């Protein structure tokens, strides 16, 4: 018969294995970021030096941390020329725009507790909505068509479904 100390030791060992399993690649809920945007912090930050807050479009409401939230926007090299250029904004396939959203100015200034949304101009291998963009609602989410995202972004159809571009930023100054 196993004594109480031995039972406690076995229980602790089992708990340790379970906890380690949750952090391992065997855990179906532990996702890595998609390799297409895993390094987005090295991309061009088009909102550099700007305070991205408020609701200048009137569409933010409760998404992207709402009108009181703070936002930073990054773009990959494929989409950089389109985003920094001038209208008409036509993004090439493979363009990726990342929006970080912060709930407070303190979090924004510290660069912590960011929510991340991802917009990707679809390539031939992607399943898309009518807008030719796919979306991910977090850093580790899988990108795909989203009626929710494209519903709001349809208001930016003239700029290829992207709100934050050079003309938009210039108007905010």
Q: Is residue 76 part of a domain?
A: yes
Domain count, the chain: 2
Tell whether 76 and 156 lie within a shared domain: yes
CA 107 from centroid of its chain's CA atoms: 16
Whether 47 shows a pLDDT value over 60: the answer reads: yes
Domain that holds residue 19: 1-30
* Exposure letters 16-41 (e unless 16+ CB within 10 A, then b): eeeeeeeeeeeeeeeeebbebbeebe
Whether 28 shows a pLDDT value over 70: the answer reads: no
Tell whether 13 and 58 lie within a shared domain: no
Candidates 70, 69, 74; CA nearest to 46 is 74
Whether 61 shows a pLDDT value over 50: the answer reads: yes
Whether 20 shows a pLDDT value over 60: the answer reads: no
Whether 19 shows a pLDDT value over 50: the answer reads: no
Give mean pLDDT, residues 112-134: 88
Candidates 102, 132, 127; CA nearest to 117 is 102
157 pLDDT band, cuts 50/70/90, is: confident
Whether 29 shows a pLDDT value over 90: the answer reads: no
55 pLDDT band, cuts 50/70/90, is: confident
Q: Look up the CATH number of the domain holding residue 78.
A: 3.50.70.20
2 pLDDT band, cuts 50/70/90, is: low
Tell whether 58 and 107 lie within a shared domain: yes
Tell whether 57 and 18 lie within a shared domain: no
Q: Is residue 35 part of a domain?
A: no
Helix (H) or strand (E) segment spanning residue 97: strand 96-102
Give mean pLDDT, residues 78-89: 91
More confident residue, 62 or 92: 92
pLDDT computed for residue 45 by the predictor: 95
More confident residue, 151 or 7: 151
Tell whether 103 and 78 lie within a shared domain: yes
Whether 22 shows a pLDDT value over 70: the answer reads: no
Tell whether 21 and 56 lie within a shared domain: no
Give mean pLDDT, residues 68-93: 92
Tell whether 18 and 70 lie within a shared domain: no
């Amino acid at each position: 018969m196993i004594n109480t100390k031995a039972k406690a030791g076995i229980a602790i060992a089992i708990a340790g294995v379970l906890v380690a399993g949750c952090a391992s690649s065997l855990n179906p809920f532990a996702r890595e970021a998609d390799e297409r945007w895993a390094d987005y912090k090295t991309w061009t930050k088009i909102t550099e030096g700007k305070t991205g807050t408020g609701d200048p479009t009137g569409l933010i409401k409760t998404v992207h941390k709402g009108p009181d939230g703070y936002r930073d926007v990054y773009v990959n090299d494929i989409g950089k020329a389109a985003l920094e250029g001038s209208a008409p904004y036509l993004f090439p396939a493979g363009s990726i725009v990342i929006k970080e959203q912060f709930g407070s100015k303190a979090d924004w200034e510290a660069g912590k507790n960011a929510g991340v949304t991802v917009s990707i101009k679809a390539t031939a291998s992607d399943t898309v909505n009518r807008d030719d963009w796919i979306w991910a609602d977090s850093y580790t989410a899988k990108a795909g068509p989203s009626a929710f995202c494209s519903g709001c972004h349809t208001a930016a159809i003239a700029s290829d479904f992207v709100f934050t571009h050079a003309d938009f930023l210039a108007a905010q100054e």
